[in-house]
Structures are given as structure tokens and as C-alpha cells.
Structure 1
């Protein structure tokens, strides 16, 4: 850890005496050096307040020392307004509750760190679904109320519901001097009326605000509030007499530069009884924007636009069926219509389509009625920022000019001109946005790594700002100004208005300690860019991480810089990533937190030094379960399991490894030995020596060990390996299946025969997964090279791998570690068993055995990531299972992870995210399906009275008459 400066050491000591969590560690500071913007600013420390009193103490201590304070929620800011050089206050960790919901008053009192979707869920639960909190930015599953207030966030339905400022009733604040004030819609008061210093401060600020307003009545009326999305600058028009001297709304959008929010009273809106989603296809986004005026006449709740580049990227990352329900076109609008009566809404929708067809620009349309289709379409829109960052062809795009807004009726002409400007600079922009509100998000292929590229970026942004101002627009339409736009504000506002902004800031924060550099007295536009100054070191890797397009950095650097901070890994619902973050709530344990530590490592920065030997990075990666879910759930496709494996390989070269790397990492070798004396080994691992053996192997004593299959049983189920190549498919008895569940091999062969396919069983190759997950890549590559040579038999026969994690390793890791044509050919032939079943049903086969009525399936993380999120559910539905209950989330064992002594407790916490609740909700007679051996063991741990099956056993036309226990030779 780097030595603390004197102010930081004094601050740490003072706050520690008060029991306040202030983290000055190098790893923690690395995690909070970034938000979702282009910028990097390492903080002095990160604080995790529990109460408003903690915030008062922190702010007072910082102000006394002249240390800046930056408020932070989900860290999803695209403008750089959630990072700072002093103390960063993370409210998302502890101050994240709904304090009260008042349905009669239609208000809720909330803490700043609550995530928007959690607030919406709690409100709907408290009001029986009658009300909700309206603002719904695309980042709502991880963005917080405090962040939404700080930026005046809007969202997909802002056409109907406006901005966050339209829903703020009151704000409880801590001022820079450490006083508790409450801003309301008609003034400012001390939170505690008996707190005399706070009363005095409220009076001083209120008097100053009144004088400021009286001096600038005309300026505020002429320059502010001209278009729906004028978010840039301070919202001082709310102080005008006709607006009731609304101090609360004047503070919304101030980006933490004036006060620290510790609670908010927000207004709630009714949930419409009837709604429909209309999807409209166009040739391009300009045509779509020209229909804005027609659509707005039909009172939509939302008009959202995307282009084909984002859709193509989603399908590339997550499969063709990840986007369903789109009509023909190359650009699309999502139009939400709602009301009190569904018939009226449907009639309005039909009339709208008819009028759009008559206008001549509409290519195709459809009403999206299926909930799954609606969810898939909205997810494309919500993941737009990430999906557009790394596109199918491999190019990069970045923020910089991504949040401008104009009047909705001018959007089409603005798009024409901004496209022309892009072409002039030979830049490409990926566009999506809130068409109904005139707000466009554009990610552009800026080169931020070179002087020439940064010069082009600067000149383009200044020209784009001039263009926006010419249209009477706002440089920020919802993300705030931050470091990205504050320096441009004098292009948008007069010197008089800029002076008024400075006075407003000074009234609240005379010492200028609150989020300095935003809005007033900004830092340079291209200062502190995260991509500037990366260590040019080669960073050689075993995995082939070469991007599909040229970038001037090492492939590993390019890979870890794929994380742009959108923070979907911090979402508590939806998808599978990131199971460890969902268990701990600590940024360290998110995919983003780990990526930030790696990004600092490749910079060789003072915060994370020592390269591959970094203890900070090792600590950050420790609780990664290597589930691979991030490789598909992350909009940018960050594959932390691969990066962890690569790091561990370098970190432990020439060093003693953890015991589990030898016991579990070399499991394929131990299984070969154990099969010769399985009965003896099983008695030892199940008896009194079990805990001793576990301790010697670095394993947890709390988990029962699996039974090893004997050579006799393996021979009976697997048979002798055939090399004649005449069978239709190759069934690969992977190491786990051969060693622990050989009965699955026989079942799989019989199912395939029932489906009309002859099979050749092979058990002489290994995917090397245990060496990959423990970062022993030399042995993994050697193992996979041999496997590729043996399996590359000159045919294109499918290779059906029974263990999903092994199938995923053969499909993805094999060609990345073994750089041969044979490896690529073998990888292309790999199928999971669920995938093979689905292929046969699509060819017309149906099982000859009756299927159960009710199946609970543990979705395997690796199969989810590599073969598609719905692989097992689709297979079960295809064979006719009427009710499929999915436990979509990591089981918690994840190969070696859940067996390691230090990880058992977290493993069981992760199980509570999906698998454990699914088991509790499953009827006693429901079949539990676990194709993955790790999942099978976790079911046994959670409910010893439950048994679980592999899909092959479920469909086996000739199952054994009774359980086949391990037997001797």
C-alpha cells in the first residue's frame, strides 16, 4: 500500500475514532478511480457512510482540511461526475433503503443509495402495484436515486413523465459546512428547527438565492428551460417567482457540487392499467426522427430509437434469439402507448400505424404482445451504451459527444447535420436515444490513445457543441455536464449566466470542496483521460485475446479495457453476473471492480503496482467464481474468468500455489489414480479422515466429498474407446462425468440411439478446465493440444460433451489456448447435451419415454454463457415438459470455488440467489435437473433428501432398475 499523505492519515484517524468506514487502500482507490465516462481520477479515500451523522462527520472533517468530497451512487456516470481527487462517498453500500411510502400522498422517502429498480419494486409492493417511481434511465437496474437526482436523469418514458426534477418533493442535505438542511418546493429550512447554526445557514443561503433570482429574472426566463431536455448547467429557473422558489428542484442536476443528499422525498405516479409496445421499422434513424411529430400527437409514454449496429452486436454476443420481435428495417422506434382501457390503446395504435404508413417513411411495424419479446427488445435499448462500445467488427466507440438534446421537432435535421459532421472528421457514430424528448446518445470511434486522435476528438466536440447551440439545444440531455461538458458551457450560456452559476455554487459551497471541476471552474475537457498514459508493455498471454480490428495496445490491455463502467454487473436481478457482488454488495467483487483493478495494473499506476505480481489484483479476483456469465451478460462481453485464469498463471509462476490448486487443479490426474481403488478412497473421504484430508487439500470440511467411480463401473458405462469413426456422433465422457457420474454416459448413448443416432464414446481426452480455472495454463494447453489432435478425426461429426462446463471449455477455451486449425475444427463440432437434444427435436424426434410434468432446472453458468441463456429450458420444452422452473443464477460451487476452504460461506450465499429458493419452491415430486456436476453437488449440499438428474437420465429409454452405487473391481 502506498504511504498516506498527512491530510489523508489525519482524516483516517479522526473518522476511525467515530467508527466510520474510510478505506484508503490502493485497491479500493483503483476501483473508484473510474465511473462510466472516459475519465480516470484516483481518489484519496473512499467512505461508506451508514447514516446522515456519518456524512456530517466526513464532510466537516474534509472541509476543515480542504479535501474535496464527491458523492457517488452506482458509479454509472457517463460524464465523469462520480469521480474526484478527495473522498468519494459511496452511498450504495449502506444508505440504500426506502424509509417510508405514503400511498395517499403519493410520495416515498428514500435514501440516496437505493437502486431505482429496487425503489420501484418496493413502491409497487407497498401500494399493491398501483404506483411507481417514474424516472427509468437505461441504467435503472444499478443507478441510484441520488445519482438520478444529481444528473436530473430522465429515462425511456420521459415523454410522459419528464425528468427526475419533476418528481422531487424535498431533499435532505448536508452542506459543505456540515449542517443539515432540507430543500423544499417553496424554500429552504433547517432539518432540525432547534439546530441554531443550521437555521442561520438556511437563512443565509435562502437570502442569497432570492437576491440572485431577483438580479437575473430576465436571464433565467430567456436562457433556461427552453427545451424538454435542457439539463446542462444549474436549473435556476425553478427559483423564479412563477415557479414558487422551488429550491429542491433547483438543486436537482447540480451533480453534488452544492450539497450532499442524504435523503429525498419523491413523488409517485399511477401505473397505467393498459399498455402496449409498438415497434416501428425504418430505413435509417433520420427517417424515424421525421415521424416524431406524428407519433407525439398520439400521446405516447415513450419513443425510443436504436440502429442496427446495436442489434447486430447483441445477437453476436448472445445469440440470434437474444433479439426477437423486431419488424423489418435498419433502424427502429419503440413506442409505448398506455391508458385506462386496452381497447382504446389498441385503437390508438392502429390509427398511428395507419397515419405513419400514409407518411411514407415507415418500412414495417408490429405490436409486441409477448412479454418475453418485449423484455428482449427493451434490453437491447437499455444495454445500448455497452453494446455500442465494442461492435461486431471489433471497433471501439466512446463517449465524448453522447448526450446532446434539441427540441423534438428539430431532431431529424439535427441528425442530418451531426452525421455530416461525423463524415467530415471521418468518424463513425453509433446512435440511439430518447427520440420523443429530442435526446440523442452517440458513441463515436474516437482514438483517445494518441495525440493525433485526441486532437481530432477535441476539434469534433467543439464543432458539435457549436452545432447543438445553433439548434437551440442542450449539450447534456440527461447525463449532466461533469468533466465531459462543463468546459463547453460558455458556448451555450452568456457570461452573465455563467456568473450566476458561479454565484449559486458559491452560496452553497464557499470553500469549493464539493465535487470541484463540474459545471463551475471546470478542468480541461480532455484532461485525465483513462486511455491516456497506458503502459506500452506487451503483456504476453496464453489466451489469444487479439481483437478483430487494429488497436495500438497489447491484446490483454485491449481486453481488460473493454469494461467501460456501465455497471450491469452490479444489478441485483436479471441474468447471472455477478454472483459474488450480489452476495457481498462490495464494488471489489463486481466484474467492473475487478476490471478496474486490472486496468490500473496495465497502467503500472501507483495505485496498483507490481504487474502480474500485484496482491491488489489477486485480492480483487479472489471471489470471482469464474462462472463466465459476464462474457455474455456484460454488454461489452468482459470475460473475467479468462482474465483471472491468465492473471493467476503469471502471478504464481515459480511460486508455491494455494493447496487447492494442487488438489482440485490436478483433479483429472487424481481421478485416474482413484478409480483403481475407489471403494477404499470413498471410505476414507466419507469417514473420520475426511476433515483431515480436506484440510490437507485446502478444501472446506463443511462439504461432503463426491464418491469416486470405480474402474469396473467406468468400464461398464463408458466401454472401450472406439476409434473407427463410423458412428454418427462422438459422445465425450469428460473427466467429471467419467470420474463421478459414469451412469450418465450410458444414459446419453441410449437417448441418442432413441433419437436415431449411433454414438462413439470417448473418455481418453480432457478439456483441462481445472487447470484453466486455477491458472495453470501450461498444463491446460498441453492437455487441450492432445485433445484437439485426438478429436480432429477428419470428420465433422458432432462431439457431444455431457458436462456443460467441459463443453464450454472445448468450445471457447480450446481455440483461444491452442492456436491450430485442428483446435478450431474441434471447437466448432462441440455440442452440449441439451444442444444435441434440441437439434434432434428440431429434426422431428420426440422421446420414447414419458417426460415429467414438472422440472426444476439449474441453468449451468458455462452453458448459459457459451451456448445460450435458454439452452436447457429450450431442450426441456422441446421434449414436451409442460412446466419448466429455472434457477437462473450460479449454483455457488462453480468447479473448485465452492470446495475451497475460504470460499464455502460465499458459495452458500450465492446458492441463495437462485438455486436454493427454486428448490424450496419445487414440489416434492418435481424432477431436479443438474447437468453440471457442481450444480449436482450443491443440490446435495442444500437438500440431502433431494436427488438430481442429468438431462440424459431424464430422457433415458432404458434406465437402470435401481440406483447403481459405486462398486469395487
Structure 2
């Protein structure tokens, strides 16, 4: 279709906006968000339309048809073959068309709109003991429309089949505006029922003329045959099932507006049998032999992807085989029988009966679509030949030949996937950045297509053909049947307006690669990006689009933290994937054209809380907090910054200066003058300025004196503890001393003498607030000063105990990545211990006081993402603090929740999990929140009447309180000894 000039583009925008009640956007940011899916491909659309209902879809199609504009239906954008990318107008069904119209437990059917998230349907069906059978690993964010478009499958397809097996009827609109109700059966003319006259006559004539080809042209005994159009479903002996024939057509024939789907009964109990084998070839050979036991899953994983997972039996590869039953006893008995039958080929086995253990192992399997994109040596691997399938009995021989083909082409990858269905997933280390690498990609693809066909297989066993495989369909089906696909497409879409270039008359498999537009040389940046060889472009490439960050707020299977802003707004640009896409387009320079000055990227990153949740929860380790800091540094270089960057970004500096005047400033903060101050500082009017400590922690320490006995640890006096929450520091000192440790503070850093003024000292700082606001030059200077002071102390092997999780995370990750050329930075980072880690590892025999109280509250997001909480859980268990802390993010996140314009999102993040957990807890429950931000959010929202005045406490405060009334200085000696007694504001350190 011809390109439009500027006048035609404006007219298209005006007409779409007038015709559609949903959102219509031609903005660069919205178009940039839709350039890619989870594949290797990229196309730039002209506009994005979010229809509200079927009438909106019809209106959009009419306008596009009149202007000759192609249309691409899109769900969650997790397609791996490129079929959710395209030029023209993208119809985004995830915004409005997400309604479950009905759910009938008697007929076991549901009527859904195309934007319904799979997990939402499963949650609605669960109270009736039902579920939707197909469950791809993206079940928490993929849509039913996308599943129908791709004929998705998932791990339970050995029990419940593919999406095509579970579709009863489809309502759709053709590009020409015709309405179709596709189901099973024929009308009085013998044509598929539910078709308007033109389509009825065309489809019937085509099928009647090609009965022999339809009966002989498709492979049989292949449960995962997804490639091509399923025209054999239109045969009379197949029941003339038009709904099945259209499932998997990738939006090339019609636009789905509603679907009736089958629900299946879910077993009352499940047991996961984990069977270990010497390698994945042995596991592949064994998989089909387990099918007579009627398992619900037979999933294969190799050691490279499992990593350090616990609870697995000894072996080099594993089959995850789920067995169901009417009771736990029955399910266990069936699993034990299966293990006995499989014993000859296994090296070991284990039964996992507890739901938490099962979820942990399934998470490893589901994350593989992301984790497999990085090989064990850190090199990149990509989809493209992600899901070929062969008859299950052929899987072992096929896998051996597949491995040999990889070696022949000098390629590597780790197979995993649906072994029971003969379907292999793999990410391969294709070089898609250079011409020779792309030629190898193409040559390998052609050879692998021939190999799959030689084993009686399908080029696609789950993810569809899209652009990745459609070019090679003649190898599987022959030219005659592929030509028939084209004729079928022409009956439905004679103008070629629906998803052109996909499945029929496709683009070449090595065209439109998303890497083509990226810079070939590293972009100058500030952070070291050690996991990406210092290359910011490679860091951005990490996002492959699996969209685990897009789990909606309604989902019960959300990841622990990522992505709180998306869960609050539901907007793609506020997801980790959306931000990564915008950074990708910024580097490309085609849609986002202002580079580091881009307002589109700035606006998308504005609601990033820098929680670092993506660093751990994203399967490929996208670190958006670091990317945000990098962007802000360049964006504001040589320019005036937002007021909040000066007020809160430089908070350590202001607090140090303000400490002597704390009483007066606290009075002002509660006076009418506070409103003016907040406005000038860029602070949200709804926020209360936290009171300054009248006596900072370091001044208390200097007055009290350092201890003389015990193993020495360096206690880090972070800004928040020192100036805003000294009670945490005092409690920590008491607990550490009770555990037999000798906490000492590092000396403060001297400032250069200025004129006749006396020599002053500045407290050390981790640089966190400077990093989070992108003031990286200042952050680096602060960090260098910290490294200068700490290095001599840490060389002696003293651990650095940090009470504030965000500061510990900054010292452990941001500091070495900003000072990547300084080997001392790595020494500092490796010395960092959290409070709980210090007690558990340095005082393993110390028995904390028994508190015997339930807990709720928040694991700090930086602790979750960077530090881990195993030591914290162990410490709580020893102290009798029972229960689990919430994941997610409190929503305050340092400066984020205080900045003007962020208050509503900040509260929405807190309402996701933290606040409900606190409200639901009893009065005897201890609310734990080690992070100052988390405690402040609880306190301020509690003052707003949302929590009944309940407050959170650091675990050090809870333990110190339980120690009783022992003399505070019992373990202390004379002041001024040890590594240094930290000074208060303006005071000279004693060491």
C-alpha cells in the first residue's frame, strides 16, 4: 500500500478520531511502543487505535479501508514470530476490550473479548472448578485474542490441547467490513455456517475444488501442528469447523471482536513429579513413553537454564511431569506410579507436593523464554527457531540431529520446552548485527526447515509462522498447498489490508530485523554496564518483549516487584518493556528523533520509581533504574533541572547543612510557610516534610562512645538513618553489641580548607539520591570520597553493615558500576552486609530474643532486587516473627513519591499490596519495613486516615525493644576508639 503524504496523513488522523470513540494516537511515543513484539522483528506503524467495542473496530476498519491503510490486530505483544508488528494502524485491544461477557459453568463455556488476559479468565473460572486449558508461559499478560491469533498452547496441552481445541465460536470483522460468526457445521448450502454470501460462496468453492489436497497435504500424528492455515478443519469429515480453521490465522483474515471458548475441569489436587536424566537427549527420548500415564504436563529443562534451583533431583536434565487427582492422595499415588514406570531411564526423581515448591519450579520454566536469551557465558541468544515440533516419538532423534546442525553452523543454544508434545523451544546465539551473521541465520533457517520436515514435523509448534517461518512453508507443505493458503487469504481479504507480510506472501525472514536500526558502535555512557561489556545499546537489547513487567494489577500471579508503575496505570509506556522500547527507538533515531533530549523518553521514565524490581524480576535482567539515571544525566546535561532534583536529589547535602537548625526547621515545616517551601522544592502538596532528628545518629554516637569488645564491623551511617531516623541506628548498635559484635563508624571525609574558615567535615554518602535523579557527576564525586575513606578500613576484612536497604543496594551495585575503573569500588561493594546478614553470618550462634508475634509489611524493593532476603527470613524465624512480608513497592521510593505530580501513582502502588496487607493484619501484628521510604509512606498515609495510625518499624527496632532494659552502654568502652567515632554536623571526628 502506498505511503501517504502529510496532507493524507492529517486527513486519516482526523477521520479516525471522528469515527472511533476509543483513543487514536499518531504520537511518536505511542507508535514507538508498538514497533516490536517479542520477536527479532520491527516495523513502524502510522497510528495506534484502542477500540472500545466491536463498533469501534468496524469504524476503524472502514476508515483504514477508504484510505488503503493496513491494519494489525494486537494483544499483549508477546508474539515471537513477528506477527504483532506491522505498518499502518495497530488495533490495541488491551486497553478497553477486556470484558468477560459471560461464563456458564453448566455448558463450561465463556464468552470473552479479545483483550481479556488469560489469567483473568482463569481466575473467573476457578470458583467453578474450571479453567481455560491452554496456558503459555505468558499467561499472566497474554490475551485471548492473541492466543487465538497464534493458536497458543502451553505446558498443559498434553492434557487439554491447543487453543484451536478449545475454541467454540469466533465473532470477527473482515477488512471489507463483513461480519462473521464462525463456528462448527454447515449451512443449507453445505458451506461453513456463519458466513455472509460472498465469503460463503468463495470458501465453499475453494474447499470443494481442493478436497484431495486438503486430505493429503497435511502431516498427521502431530499434536503441535501450528504452521499455515488449518484448512483441513473445513473438510466434511472434520466437521467443517470454521472456528478451528481461523484459529492461528494471525490476524490475516479477520479481526476478532468476541470469542466463545471451552472451559475444562481442573483436578482438585496436583503433584509435580520431577524426573532427572543424564542429559536433555535422554529426557527427550523418555518423554513420549510417559504419555500413557495421562500426565497433565511433560516439560523438559536442561541444567543450563535451571541454574542453582533447589529441590531438584541429581541429573543433567529434567522432565516436569504434573499429575492430577481428586485428592492429594490420589494425585500422589499416580505420580509415584509414573516414577516407578520411568525409573529405568532416570538418574533420580522427586515429588513436589506443596504448592509453593511447585510454583518455584514452574517459575523457572516460565522464565526460560527470557533467561534463555543469555547463555552461560553472557553472550546473547535470540528466537527465530523457537518452537519447531515433531511427533513426540521422534523427539529424541530430532534433537540429536538438531544439535548436530547447530555444531555444523557454529551456533549454540539450550533446548527446553514441551517435550511431551514433541515441541522444542530454544534461543540461539545468532549474530543478527552483521551481514555474515545474518547470512548464517538465513542458511541455518533453511537447513533446519528441511530437518524438521524430514522428521515429519511442523515449522511452528506454538508461536505461529509470522515473518520468522512463513517464507519456508513450501518446505513443509509444498508449493501447491502454500498457493492454496494465498487463495484462501484472497477470499477473505482481497485488498490485502490485514497484517500484510505475515503467513501468506511474507517478507523474507531476514528482513525488518529490529537490530538493523541500532548504532553499531557503543554510545558514550557513564555507568560501566559490566554485564553488557560496557555497551548501553546491548543493555537496551536485553528486553526481548516477553512482558513479564506487564502483569496487570488484577492478576494474582504478579511478580514480586516489577513493574509497580504499570500496575498502577496500566499504560504500556509505564512498563519496563515500554520504556525499553522507547530507549531502543531513541537509539534508532527514526521515530524518536531527539536522542538523549527526547521528551517522549523523559515522560515515560518520569513514573519509573527506580525500584530496581526489573533487575531481578525481569527474566533477562533489564535494569531500568540504571537506564533512567543514565538518561537523566544526558537529558539534563548543561540544562536547568526540575526543582526536585535540586531539593531531593541533593538531600544529603541539605540535611547535613540543616542539622544544627533542626528544631527551628521542624517548626517551619508545620507552619503555613511549608506550602511555599514545597512548591519551590517541587514537592507534592499532599506530602508532609519528614521531621529532622534533633540529635543525628552520628552525634549520639560521638556522645556515647565506641565499644571496645567484639568482632569489629563498620556500621554505615546512611543519610536517612543519620538525619531522619536515628532511632534505627541506636537500636542497631544495641542489637549488634548484644550479638557480640563491635560496631564502629567510619571517619567522615574532610573538605578542603577555604580561606580562613576552619576545616569542616562532610558525612560519607552512598550517592543514592544523586544517582536516582541522574546527577551522575556528583554521584561519582561522592562515591570516590566514600571509597577513599572506606578502602583502608575494609582492606583489614571488616564488613560494612548497612541499615538502609536502598543505600546497601547503591553501595553494592551503583558504586562499582559508576566507578568501574577503580578496583577499590569492587572491594567496597563486596564488603556490604545488610543488618540481618551481619547477624546471621557474623554471629551465627547468637540467639535473638523470642518475640513470637506475626508480621506483615514490606520487603524493600531494592533488597528484593539486589540484596536478597534469605538472611532476613532466617533472622525472623529465629526470633519467632512469623508470616511473610509483602512484595511489590511501597510507592514512595525515595524522592519519587515526594515529587509533585506523583502522589496519586505513589498511593496506587501502596494500595496494590502493602496497604491492604496492613489493614488486614491484627493489632498484635508487627509491621516491618526496613526502608525509610516504606516507613514514611506508611506513616503519612496512616496520618491520612488510611491505616488507623499504625506505623512500620525496622527489624532492628523490634529486636532492640525485645532485648529488655539492659543498660544501653553495657558493651561500650571509652569514646573515640576504633575505626572512628562519627562526628555530628560541623564536628571534628575523633579518628
Task: Name the TM-score class by shorter chain.
Answer: over 0.9
| Residues in 2 aligned to 1:960 and 1:558: alpha-carbon distance in whole angstroms | 56
- Residue 349 of structure 1: how far off its partner (Å): 2.4
- Residue 66 of structure 1: how far off its partner (Å): 1.2
- Residue 7 of structure 1: how far off its partner (Å): 3.6
2:320 is paired with a residue of what secondary structure? strand
1:802 lines up with 2:791 in the alignment: no
1:305 is paired with a residue of what secondary structure? strand
TM-aligned CA distance change 1:262 to 1:922, over 3 Å: same
Aligned to 2:646, which of 652, 662, 673? 662
| Residues in 2 aligned to 1:510 and 1:869: alpha-carbon distance in whole angstroms | 59
Preserved CA contact (<8 Å) 1:717 1:745: no
1:302 lines up with 2:297 in the alignment: yes
Structure 1 match to 2:908: 909
Structure 1 match to 2:551: 571
| Residues in 2 aligned to 1:327 and 1:391: alpha-carbon distance in whole angstroms | 23
Structure 2 match to 1:318: none
TM-aligned CA distance change 1:20 to 1:355, over 3 Å: closer
- Residue 761 of structure 1: how far off its partner (Å): 2.7
1:230 lines up with 2:225 in the alignment: yes
- Mapping of residues 871-950 of structure 1, within 5 Å: 872-882=872-882, 884-944=883-943, 945-950=949-954
Structure 2 match to 1:581: 566
Structure 1 match to 2:313: 327
| Residues in 2 aligned to 1:300 and 1:718: alpha-carbon distance in whole angstroms | 67
| Residues in 1 aligned to 2:406 and 2:933: alpha-carbon distance in whole angstroms | 51
| Residues in 2 aligned to 1:712 and 1:221: alpha-carbon distance in whole angstroms | 83
- Residue 494 of structure 1: how far off its partner (Å): 2.1
TM-aligned CA distance change 1:536 to 1:343, over 3 Å: closer
Structure 2 match to 1:355: 341
- Residue 509 of structure 1: how far off its partner (Å): 0.9
Structure 1 match to 2:815: 814
Q: Deviations over 1:227-256 (max 9, x none)?
A: 111100001111111122111111000000
- Mapping of residues 123-138 of structure 1, within 5 Å: 123-125=125-127, 127=128, 130-138=129-137
TM-aligned CA distance change 1:160 to 1:860, over 3 Å: same
- Runs of at least 4 residues of structure 1 off by over 6 A? 198-201, 720-726, 959-962
| Residues in 1 aligned to 2:774 and 2:812: alpha-carbon distance in whole angstroms | 18
Structure 2 match to 1:203: 197
| Residues in 1 aligned to 2:966 and 2:187: alpha-carbon distance in whole angstroms | 78
Preserved CA contact (<8 Å) 1:171 1:264: yes
TM-aligned CA distance change 1:200 to 1:851, over 3 Å: closer
Matched residues, number: 935
Gaps of 5+ in 2: 553-557, 749-762, 944-948, 968-983, 987-991
Structure 2 match to 1:31: 33
Structure 2 match to 1:716: 700
Structure 1 match to 2:577: 592
Structure 1 match to 2:287: 292
Q: Deviations over 1:163-209 (max 9, x none)?
A: 001111111111112233211122589xxxxxxxx999612212222
When structure 1 is superposed on structure 2, of 26-35 and 792-801 the one drifting more is 792-801
2:120 is paired with a residue of what secondary structure? helix
- Residue 392 of structure 1: how far off its partner (Å): 3.6
TM-aligned CA distance change 1:116 to 1:960, over 3 Å: farther
Structure 1 match to 2:123: 121
Aligned to 1:265, which of 249, 257, 260? 260
- Residue 3 of structure 1: how far off its partner (Å): 11
Preserved CA contact (<8 Å) 2:530 2:817: no
When structure 1 is superposed on structure 2, of 203-212 and 556-565 the one drifting more is 203-212
Preserved CA contact (<8 Å) 1:74 1:144: yes
Preserved CA contact (<8 Å) 2:720 2:932: yes
TM-aligned CA distance change 1:823 to 1:701, over 3 Å: same
Preserved CA contact (<8 Å) 1:15 1:21: no
- Residue 870 of structure 1: how far off its partner (Å): 5.2
TM-aligned CA distance change 1:535 to 1:968, over 3 Å: closer
Preserved CA contact (<8 Å) 2:696 2:723: no
Q: Deviations over 1:700-743 (max 9, x none)?
A: 11011111012466522565797999852111110011011011
Preserved CA contact (<8 Å) 2:270 2:323: yes
1:139 lines up with 2:141 in the alignment: no
1:487 is paired with a residue of what secondary structure? helix
Structure 1 match to 2:630: 646
Preserved CA contact (<8 Å) 1:169 1:248: yes
| Residues in 1 aligned to 2:141 and 2:326: alpha-carbon distance in whole angstroms | 31
Preserved CA contact (<8 Å) 2:856 2:927: yes
- Mapping of residues 322-401 of structure 1, within 5 Å: 323-358=309-344, 361-401=345-385
1:82 lines up with 2:84 in the alignment: yes
1:248 lines up with 2:248 in the alignment: no
Preserved CA contact (<8 Å) 2:812 2:830: yes
1:279 is paired with a residue of what secondary structure? strand
CA RMSD of aligned residues (A): 2.4
Preserved CA contact (<8 Å) 1:718 1:761: no
TM-aligned CA distance change 1:180 to 1:771, over 3 Å: same
Structure 2 match to 1:602: 587
Preserved CA contact (<8 Å) 1:580 1:625: yes
Preserved CA contact (<8 Å) 2:718 2:807: yes
1:630 lines up with 2:629 in the alignment: no
- Residue 852 of structure 1: how far off its partner (Å): 4.3
| Residues in 1 aligned to 2:204 and 2:183: alpha-carbon distance in whole angstroms | 14
When structure 1 is superposed on structure 2, of 789-798 and 726-735 the one drifting more is 726-735
Preserved CA contact (<8 Å) 2:656 2:985: no
Q: Deviations over 1:491-533 (max 9, x none)?
A: 1112221122112111211111000111111011100001123
1:410 lines up with 2:412 in the alignment: no
- Residue 330 of structure 1: how far off its partner (Å): 1.5
Gaps of 5+ in 1: 190-197, 316-322
Preserved CA contact (<8 Å) 2:388 2:461: yes
Aligned to 2:959, which of 939, 955, 959? 955
| Residues in 2 aligned to 1:889 and 1:875: alpha-carbon distance in whole angstroms | 21
| Residues in 2 aligned to 1:81 and 1:325: alpha-carbon distance in whole angstroms | 38
| Residues in 2 aligned to 1:719 and 1:220: alpha-carbon distance in whole angstroms | 90
- Mapping of residues 682-693 of structure 1, within 5 Å: 682-693=666-677
| Residues in 2 aligned to 1:351 and 1:157: alpha-carbon distance in whole angstroms | 20
| Residues in 2 aligned to 1:330 and 1:169: alpha-carbon distance in whole angstroms | 42
1:854 is paired with a residue of what secondary structure? strand
- Mapping of residues 477-488 of structure 1, within 5 Å: 477-488=461-472
1:832 lines up with 2:834 in the alignment: yes
2:437 is paired with a residue of what secondary structure? helix
Structure 2 match to 1:311: 306
| Residues in 2 aligned to 1:583 and 1:341: alpha-carbon distance in whole angstroms | 39
TM-aligned CA distance change 1:869 to 1:578, over 3 Å: farther
| Residues in 2 aligned to 1:808 and 1:372: alpha-carbon distance in whole angstroms | 27
